[in-house]
Homo-oligomer: A and B are copies of this chain.
Amino acid sequence: MPLGDKIGYERNECRYCGVETEFTDDTPGLLDFNIRSGGFDFILTPLMNPDYRPSLLEKESIESRVLPFAGSDLVLSPSQWSSHVVGKISSWIDLDSEDETLRMDSETTLKQEIAWANHLSLQACILPAPKGASCANYARCVNQILQGLNNMQLWLRIPLVKVEEGSVDMNSNNLIDLWELWNSFRILCEHHVQLSVVLDIQSSLPSANSLGRWFGESVRAAILNTDCFLTNGRGYPCLSKRHQSLITGFFNHSIQIIMSGTPTHIIPKAGVDLTSNHSSESIRRNPFRPYLDYIAYLFQRMDPLPEQEVFELGYRDFLQSPLQPLMDNLEAQTYETFEKDSVKYIQYQRAISKALLDRIRDDKASTTTVLMVVGAGRGPLVRASLMAAEETGRKLRVYAVEKNPNAVVTLHSLVKMEKWEDIVSIISCDMRYWDAPEKADILVSELLGSFGDNELSPECLDGAQRFLKEDGISIPSSYTSFIQPVTASKLYNDVKSHKDLVHFETAYVVKVHNVARLASSQPVFTFTHPNYSSKINNERYRKLIFEIPGDTGSAMVHGFAGYFDAVLYKDVHLGIEPSTATPNMFSWFSIFFPLRTPVCIRPGSPLEVHFWRCCGSSKVWYEWCVTSPSQTAVHNSKGRSYWVGL
With known contacts A171-B604, A535-B59, A604-B171, A143–B634 Cβ distance under 8 A: yes
A638 in the interface (beta carbon within 8 A): yes
A136 in the interface (beta carbon within 8 A): yes
A86 CB, nearest partner CB in chain B, Å: 25
CA–CA, A118 and B171, complex, Å:
48
- Stretch with Cβ within 8 A of B (4 or more), from A10-18, A456-464, A506-514, A624-632: A624-632
- 8 Å CB interface, A166-195 against B: 171, 183-184, 187-190
- Mostly, the A contact residues are mixed
* A541:B627 contact, CB within 8 angstroms: no
CA–CA, A187 and B595, complex, Å:
14
With known contacts A597-B597, A605-B171, A625-B136, A189–B144 Cβ distance under 8 A: no
Which B residues are in CB contact (< 8 Å) with A535? 59
* A610:B147 contact, CB within 8 angstroms: no
Which B residues are in CB contact (< 8 Å) with A20? none
A501 CB, nearest partner CB in chain B, Å: 10
With known contacts A184-B627, A638-B147, A610–B59 Cβ distance under 8 A: no
Interface residues on A, range: 35 or more
A640 in the interface (beta carbon within 8 A): yes
* B627:A136 contact, CB within 8 angstroms: yes
* B134:A638 contact, CB within 8 angstroms: no
A584 in the interface (beta carbon within 8 A): no
A633 in the interface (beta carbon within 8 A): yes
With known contacts A137-B541, A171-B604, A638–B184 Cβ distance under 8 A: no
Which B residues are in CB contact (< 8 Å) with A637? 140, 143-144, 147
Q: Which residue of B lies closest to A185 (CB)?
A: B631
CA–CA, A148 and B616, complex, Å:
14
A98 CB, nearest partner CB in chain B, Å: 10
Contacts A597-B597, A630-B630 known; list 4 others, CB within 8 Å.
A134-B627, A140-B610, A147-B637, A188-B633
21 contacts between A and B (CB under 8 A): A59-B535, A103-B541, A104-B537, A134-B543, A134-B627, A139-B634, A140-B610, A140-B625, A140-B634, A143-B633, A143-B634, A147-B637, A148-B638, A171-B604, A184-B627, A184-B631, A187-B632, A187-B633, A189-B633, A190-B633, A190-B634
CB-based closest 9 A-B pairs: A187-B631, A190-B633, A136-B610, A140-B634, A143-B634, A143-B637, A184-B631, A188-B634, A136-B627
